[in-house]
Structures are given as C-alpha cells and as structure tokens.
Amino acid sequence: MKKAVVLLSGGLDSTVTLYWAKNKGYQPYCLIFDYGQRHRREISSAIKIAKKINCKYHLLKFTLPWGGSTLLDKKTNLPQQKNAEEIGKNIPSTYVPARNTIFLSFALSYAEVIKAEAIFIGANALDYSGYPDCRPEYYTAFREVAKKGTKIGQEKKEIKIYTPLIRKTKAEIVKLGMKLKVPFALTWSCYAGGEPFRTEPFRVNPCGKCDSCLLRNKGFREVGIIDPLFL
C-alpha cells in the first residue's frame, strides 16, 4: 500500500484531508505537533482521530521560545471579528511565523525515511485567515524544496505534496467531509480551546468569536446542517 505523511492538527481541514488521503488509497502516517499552542484540546482531538482511523502517528513536542503569535501566548488576547467576511483581509496576530515550513520540514524528513510517496496538508486559501503559508504559490515553492533538498528528490523519485482543500470553500470542505464520513464531532477548531472532552459537554466550549470558530460556523451554516460538535 502506498504511504503518505499527513499533517494532523485535529481541526476540520486536516481531518477531512486525512480521510481524503485514506480514500485515495494511501496508508496515512500522521504527524501531530505540540508546539506550545495556547491549549491542548486540538492535540487530544488529533490523537483521537488518528486512533479512530487506526493509523500510525507521532506526536512531536517542541516550543518556539521566541513566540511571535497570539496562538502561542496566553497572556495576549485573540483577535475577534464580527463575521467571517472580515477574515483574511490582513494577516492576523494568530499567524505563527513560518509554521507550515516548520511542519512540512518534519513531514519531508519522515516521508523520506518511511519511503512515503506523498505528504498531505489541509491548507486552504479561500475561507482562511490570510496566512501566507496557506497559499498555492507557497506550495509550488515547497515542492521545489522537496525535490532539491532530499536524497529521494535527487534520485528523481519525487515526494508529492498535496493540498486537496486549497481552493475549496468551508462549505465545500464540510460537504466533502460528510461524503467521506469524517467524525466532525471529534474535531476541534476553536483557537481558545476548552476543557477536556470528559468534563465539559461540547456545546459550551467553542468561543464562537475567533477566526477559526467563525469560519467553521460559516461552513456548516452554508451547508445547512448543525455542526455535530454541538449535538
């Protein structure tokens, strides 16, 4: 079976991407990052999802001691928008400097060792926060890095980097997830986190005000279904 490394954050997009890769016949190997986010909730979601789909995963822990993002510093306030339409006009303070470059570097190393044919990442450049490392041109550039910077690339056996959601709206992502039977209730999007699953019912946790909540809510609203997180 062909192998793929999948970057799994525990959010909606990366989970749909994981199920997409599996549906395309790949054996997924997930990378989950504990990089000092302001909450652990998405990490426990990612682990539950990896276990549910029965795939091998690594949880990599590190910190970025220089910070540089409101996602890394609990003492700062997360930006809030009135509605999803305001999101993505400017790069917000939740941008984590060079995050996807860091993650993809780990993925590339892992893929080369296990001889994976592909790396999957759930980046999206439509209903998104305007992060530069989520845009198609970034992935075009990183594909060159994968070719030029690895032994396997020099042997002309390319590691493909797939971004199946990059040009989809959040509603299209939700619809795709429904088709792939993604366990939405296990996913976690809110930047503000929440209590562990066992102590709080889902419905009280997501803040409903951060970019990630607004975009998720927009997706489910446009499809016309209730987010299973709230059921």
Residues of the shown chain interacting with Zn ion in the complex, contacts defined by CB under 5 A:
190, 192, 207, 210, 213
- Residue 121 CB, shortest distance to Zn ion, in Å, is 22
- Residue 208 CB, shortest distance to Zn ion, in Å, is 6
Q: Which string of b and e fits 99-135 if b means at least 16 CB within 10 Å?
A: bbebbbebbbebbbeeebebbbbbbbbebbbbbebbb
Report which residue type is found at 111: A
Q: At what angle do helices 170-179 and 211-223 cross, to 10 degrees?
A: 60
Q: How far apart are CA 22 and CA 16, in angstroms?
A: 10
- The candidate with the shortest Cα–Cα distance to 231, out of 180, 183, 190, 193, is 183
- Residue 189 CB, shortest distance to Zn ion, in Å, is 7
Q: How far apart are CA 26 and CA 118, in angstroms?
A: 9
Which is closer to Zn ion, CB of 5 or CB of 190? 190
- Residue 61 CB, shortest distance to Zn ion, in Å, is 24
Which is closer to Zn ion, CB of 84 or CB of 111? 84
